[in-house]
Each structure stands twice: as C-alpha cells, then as structure tokens.
A and B are shown apart, each in its own frame.
Chain A
Amino acid sequence: MNPAILEVSGLSVALPPGADRPFAVEDAAFELRRGEILCVVGESGSGKSVLSSAIMGAPPKGLRVTSGSIRLGGQELTGLPDRALRRIRGNRIAMIFQEPMAALNPAVPVGKQVEEVFELHARLPAAERRERAVKLLAETHLPDPARIAQAYPHQLSGGQCQRVIIAMALAMEPEVLIADEPTTALDVTTQAQVLKLVRELRDVRGHGILFITHDFGVVADVADRIAVMSKGRIVEIGEASRILAAPEHPYTKSLIAAVPSLTPPPRAPMSEASTEALAVDGVTKRYAGVTALDDVSLRLDRGEILTIVGESGCGKSTLARVIVCLTKPTTGSVTVEKPGEAALDRTARRADRRHVQMIFQDPFGSLNPRRAVGDIIARAAMLGGADRKTATSRAAALLAEVGLSREAYARRPGAFSGGQRQRIGIARALAMEPGFVIADECVSALDVSVQAQILDLLRRLQSELRLGILFITHDLRVAAQLSDRIAVMKGGKIVEEGPAEALLSAPADPYTRRLFEAAPGRGVV
C-alpha cells in the first residue's frame, strides 16, 4: 500500500450563525494515498465542496476552519500564513474545476495560461516555459497541442477546455489533485474520455486524487475508495468495491438505490388504440446557415412516454421549442391529431394552447420570483378556460397532487427547494389539462434522490391522466427508467428510434452504441 500523502483529521468548518446547521463540514477524517482516487460523494449541500476548498486553504467567504488538522506529506497546513499557502496551492495541491470555460480567462490563449503557472511557481526561461506548456497539453491527449496552445478558450470545446485545466493543474507536478465535479458540465462521451484521463494520471503519474462528485456512475468508474458525505459528515468511508456492492450506512444505501438502472423495468404494453397523437413531420430548422433540426419526424400517442436522448447541441431543445410554438420551423409541421377531426396545425395550437404544455429544465429560472406559486398555477388554469373559482381550487388540488402542502399556495418560488420548484412547474403545466407535455431535461438539475421522486411523480401523473410525454434528456439512465420508446438524436437528426427495451439491449446505430458505452458506471450500478 502506498504511503498517505494527505491526512485530514477532525476537520470542522463552521457555518455562520443562523444557517440550517452549525457546521458545513464536521469532524471529517480521511487519508489520501499516492496513486489513489478517493471519491467524495454527496448531494448538494452535503459540504463536499467546502471540504475541498478548506483543504486548498481557501474556504468560501464567511466560513472558517474551527478545528482539526490537514497534513500534506507530514506538513501541517491549518494555521499556515496566507503567503505559505499560496506557495502550496497550484504547486503541491492543484485543483480542477467544474466549469472549465469559467475557469479559463477568455482573453488569453490557453497555452499562455498554462505558462502562467510556471511564472507563479518556478523561474524558467520563456522558451522552456512554452515548450513545457505544449508538452503538458500533449500529455492530456489534446490533438495538435502546438496549435491548441495558440487557441482562445471559446475556440475549444468543453472537453478540450477541461483538458487544458488539467494540464494547468499538472504543471508543477502536485502531489495531490482535487477535482471538484470535473465532468458534470460535460457530455457523456466527453466525460468518459476525461475519466479515462483521470485514471491514467493516477496509474502513470501516481497522483493522489480527491474526486468530488454527486454521480454514483462516475464513482463506479474511477474510485479506489469512497467517502460518502451527508449534512457535513462523512457517514461511510471504505473500498469502492465493498461500498458499491454492500453499502452499510442507510444513507449510502438510499443514494445507491436512487441511481436509475440502465435496464428498463418491464412495462405493460399500451392497452388500447390511442385517440390522440402529436405528430412531428419532416421538421427542419435553420438559423443563419446552421441546421439545428434536419428532417425530424416523430409520433407520440397519448398515454405514452417518448424520450429523446442526445448530447448538447444535438437539437433536442430546439425541437421542444418548435413543438410548443416558441420557434417556427423552417419547413415541416407539428400537428395534434384527433380521430374524426381536422389535425390541429401551428395556427390552431397557438390559438388554443391547451394541447401541449412544457416543463422546464431550470427550477430556478422557470417560475416568476415575484408571484405566489398558487397564483402562477391558477393563472395557467384560467388561461385554459377555467373561471377564477375553478382555477383557484384546481391550483390547490394540483399542489396537493404534486405533494406540496396547503401553505405552499401563498408562498413565492424563493421559499422552495429545487425539487419542490420542479413540482410546482409540473403543476403549472398540468393546470391547463393538456394532452401532451414536453419535459426538457426537467430532472437534470436535481440530486439523485429528488430526481427519483420527480420521475415517480411524472410516471404516476402520466398513467392517471393518460398524458403523452415527450421527455428530453442527456441521461441514459433516466431514459431507461421512464420511457416506452427512445429516440436518439445527433446533429439535428434522429439516428435511431425504437421501444426502450429493444433499443437499450441491442442498439443498431454506431453513435447509439458509443453513447451507451460511455454511460458511467455501466455494469456496476
């Protein structure tokens, strides 16, 4: 077993008075060895990011380390003056961030930004700095590193930017790397490549890596050991294989149980022939020379969940906007078909919005912060044709239906958590009693346990109200659990479509296969 390079014991970080708990991190103790990846797993607010910033010697403003010790290679870090800490940061402990684009200076070529690390920590001649920067970029497997060194961040993809950040972190050959959700902002296929690079850093260069994440799939892919955090405490720590197979702490158990499986559950076949359908016919959308949607055709029956899976930029959100009439397609049409009636085209659906409603991705941006949530829902009901009295009682009933208390009616969105707001968004969409609902990444901003509750709620409402749901996601696990059918999108086209079980067990298209293989934690959780 390799020697420990980072030893943390009894570490507590106090929250300011009036917070919901006294400590952001309480009595944390663990050690990190050379050539090891220790994953710190927890949901939002568990204190995992505060823990990492405390180790970096820079806890968030207003928080301070109250007790405990952090030893790096035997040297105590707590209580060191800022000057000494600055020499350690970036030099012996380096950090990799969640938002690679935000962590890079947009006005400086990335090669220069890697060189700046040497300027801070080592006196090297300019030519050697440049040479080493390019070498580092090459080590992170960036293609044509000499050219990429000249590029500005906006000219690179998210995955390439993250490789640049990793190159900067590696510059001074630090003993410890702290990676805070380094792949959360990336697409699955890119994530798989970055995770591979992280494993390589451990195996080839022997860094000790503290890897912070909320995603058990990612944990299963990279972790040697796992520390599970809840409400500021490390509730369980141990070998990865043991914790994934036989978690002991109830919280760990519930977290692992909440991870949606990649195997779809058995689903009853659709009972009767459907009465209504949403039909997308040959929809193409071009913006200023860019084709966002290329001849997309889909059919969604009432009572069915069709999931569109794709990576960022594949056109899935544009498709949602076209269906709800926020964007006009360049060619093609979206209609609602009812047996024995004329199909409702765009004009008809714009005049009567009751057919298709939408649930949004961002629970914080999709509710007007200045209005009481009951009023928001009641207004939707009134726009759907209800009178004020009916609308008010329907709003109250819907709030109860999505699992919120009676008191929620008069409160504003600011008083609710992300998961609760998403419930409110669902209630608003249902207030007009639509036949079809478009849900655009509506669980991707949520913690797994909350995500599981929202998916349950959606499934229940879908079968009770016989809704047709078009669910849009980048997450194959969610798609596997929720869908009757799955369509895979790439570059504005649907590359493959079929029943969930058939598609997941035997994908035909090469891109679909690549997407499935990239799903983190495949075969483990």
Chain B
Amino acid sequence: MTAGVLRQIAGRPTAAIGAALVGGWILVAIFAGIIAPYDPLHSMQPLVLPGGHGAAGEAHWLGTDYLGRDILSRLVVGARSVIVLASAATLTAYLVGIAGGLAAGYSRGWIDSVLSFIANVILSFPILVLYIVVIVAIGASGANVILAVTFGSAPAIFRIVRAITMDIASRDFVAASVIQGETVLRILAVDILPNATGPLTVDFCLRLGYTAITIGALGFLGLGLPPPTPDWGGMVNEGRTLAFAYPHLVLFPCLAISSLVLGLSLLADGLRAGVGASR
C-alpha cells in the first residue's frame, strides 16, 4: 500500500464513502463501551418504538426488542463482534489460502495436484450448506465461526494466490534469484508475495464483506454467537416473527449489515482502481 493508492481513494467519491462507512463502524466497535447508551443485555420495557421512552423515561433512539433490550446498544456492541470475527476469520482464511497457493503455484507438480484437488472438492459444495455442516458438527461459538469461514473461503483464496504465483514465478527476476541459489522460502517471501499484494488487498476487502454477510447469515440461522450475546444476524432472527408489527426490530440490524458490506465493496472498488493506477 503506497501513498499513491491512498490518494486514489481520496480522489474517488465512492471510495471515500466506502472508507467513511468502514472507518465509522470500526470507530463504533472500538468505542462501543462509551457509545452504547445502556447495557445491551439489560431488559427494560419491551417493544418501545424508535425515538420512544421507556417506563422510567429512558430514551431509546432505535427502540427496544421483545425482551426490552436497547436496540442501539445491541447494534453498537454487536458491531464489535462482527468486525472482530469477520477480520479474524478472513485473516486465517488468507493465511491458509496464501500458504497453499504459494506452495502449489511455485512447485506445480504433485503438491499442486493434491492441493488443487482438495480445494476443488471443498468448492464443489454450496458454501452455506458447508458452513452449516461444519458448525453443526463442531458447535456454535466465535472460534468455530472462524474455523467454518476459513474452511469455506480458503480454497477460493488458494486459487487466486496460485494463479498469481504461477504468473510471477515465470518472470525473469525470479529466474535470477534461482540462478543465484536463493532459497525457495525467500523467493516466495521476497520475490513473489510482495508483488502479489495489489490484487490480494482488493480481494481481502471484498471477502471481508462476504464474511460479514456470512456471519450475519449464520447468526440468523442460530449458528452464530450463542444468545444473549448481541449479534446482528441473531437480532434479525429474533425480530423476524414480530417484524410486521414492529419493523424496527429487523430494519436496523439489516441496515447495519448492509452499510458495512456496502462500505467494504466500495472501498475494494477504490483500491482496485488505485492498484491499477499505481502499476
């Protein structure tokens, strides 16, 4: 990431909006303890409408849910878990995908055949079914969400890294390192990986968005964080039956998920343009 890429982002209104949305949510997650007006687990008057007041006169900007918990507080604290979980899951998926992709793309031969076969087998399952199978098998918890997402998205990352590695490995500067007797690990770390960061950064940003959606979906299916932990997908699920009478139960968590994912997509677009321009 260079200053040139950042300038590109600043120069594009959509990318700037994306950066603002993502940055905003990150700030909310960091300062959740200060921003949240109430304890997200504390029950007060149930089903207060947005802007309404509870029995003791407390203001609820976004209303309360069926157990009387403040929705704004739950969203703010929930931001922390979705951002931490999505980043951790995407990062571990990347670690696995990059390691496999570099090994397969550089060595080709049987290592490539074996790794590509495994990746193709995993990719042949519908991804959501795969998540459900994994979570049902190992139980619902934060760590297991990370595990499931890694399992599901590492193969796609593996394929991207493998293709980029094959391309870069055919360049002359890699041949020069080989002729000088450079070690394979150092060739991968110094010659290949740094020259792949552009496309990988863009993909990372997009994938972070997909992962946020996935975590929402898992929460909605009751496979995310166990209740009563605030969880955006879980909030949509809990409000589902009452949504016709009290749409705010579903509307605000949905808006939260979409704004975060939209922000990441816009940011990825901006990065793509920036990476392209700085080449």
Query: Interface on A for B, CB 8 Å cutoff?
Result: 324-326, 350, 352-353, 356-358, 360-362, 365-371, 379-380, 383-384, 425, 428, 432
Contacts and interface: CB of A to CB of B under 8 A. Distances in A.
Interface stretch (B77-85, B173-181, B264-272): B173-181
Contacts of A350: 181
A370 B194 contact: yes
Given A360-B172, A362-B172, A365-B172, A370 B179 contact: no
A308 B191 CA distance: 30
B195 interface: yes
Contacts of A366: 171-173, 175-176
A350 B180 CA distance: 9
Contacts of A326: 175, 178-179
Contact of A370 (B172, B181, B182, B195): B195
B33 to A, nearest CB: 41
A370 B181 CA distance: 20
Contacts of B171: 365-366
Interface string B127-163: 0000000000000000000000000000000000000
Interface in B190-226: 190-191, 194-195
Given A368-B190, A368-B195, A370-B195, A380 B172 contact: no
Interface of B: 171-173, 175-176, 178-182, 190-191, 194-195
A365 B180 contact: no
B179 A358 contact: yes
Given A324-B179, A325-B179, 6 more contacts: A353-B181, A365-B171, A366-B176, A368-B173, A379-B180, A380-B180
Contacts of B175: 326, 358, 360, 366
B5 to A, nearest CB: 14
B124 to A, nearest CB: 31
A352 B180 CA distance: 9
A430 to B, nearest CB: 12
B182 A383 contact: yes
Contact of B181 (A365, A367, A383): A383
A368 B180 contact: no
A358 B181 contact: no
A369 B182 CA distance: 17
By secondary structure, the A interface counts as: loop
Given A366-B173, A367-B173, A357 B179 contact: yes
26 contacts: A353-B179, A353-B180, A353-B181, A356-B179, A357-B179, A358-B176, A360-B172, A360-B176, A361-B172, A362-B172, A365-B171, A365-B172, A365-B173, A366-B171, A366-B172, A366-B173, A366-B176, A367-B173, A368-B191, A370-B195, A379-B182, A383-B180, A384-B180, A425-B176, A428-B176, A432-B180
Contacts of B180: 353, 357, 379-380, 383-384, 432
A268 B110 CA distance: 54
A437 to B, nearest CB: 11
In the complex, the 10 A-B pairs of residues with the closest C-beta atoms, listed nearest first: A366-B172, A353-B181, A370-B194, A360-B172, A368-B173, A365-B172, A383-B180, A324-B179, A365-B171, A380-B180
Contacts of B179: 324-326, 353, 356-358
Contacts of B182: 379, 383
B183 to A, nearest CB: 9
Contacts of B181: 350, 352-353, 383
Contacts of B172: 360-362, 365-366
B195 A369 contact: yes
Contacts of A365: 171-173
Contacts of A432: 180
Contacts of B178: 326
A362 B173 CA distance: 10
A247 to B, nearest CB: 37
B246 to A, nearest CB: 55
Contacts of B194: 368, 370-371
A356 B180 CA distance: 9
Nearest to B178: A326
B190 A371 contact: yes
A367 B181 CA distance: 16
A365 B195 CA distance: 12
A277 B103 CA distance: 37
Nearest to B170: A365
Contacts of B173: 365-368
A162 to B, nearest CB: 27
Contacts of A367: 173
A358 B181 CA distance: 12
Nearest to A356: B179
A432 B182 CA distance: 12
B31 to A, nearest CB: 36
A290 B115 CA distance: 30
B120 to A, nearest CB: 25
Contacts of A371: 190, 194
Contacts of A383: 180-182
A369 B173 CA distance: 9
A356 B181 CA distance: 11
A348 B43 CA distance: 77
A326 to B, nearest CB: 6
A385 to B, nearest CB: 10
A145 B173 CA distance: 43
A358 B175 CA distance: 9
Nearest to A325: B179
Nearest to B279: A369
A365 B182 CA distance: 18
Nearest to B175: A326
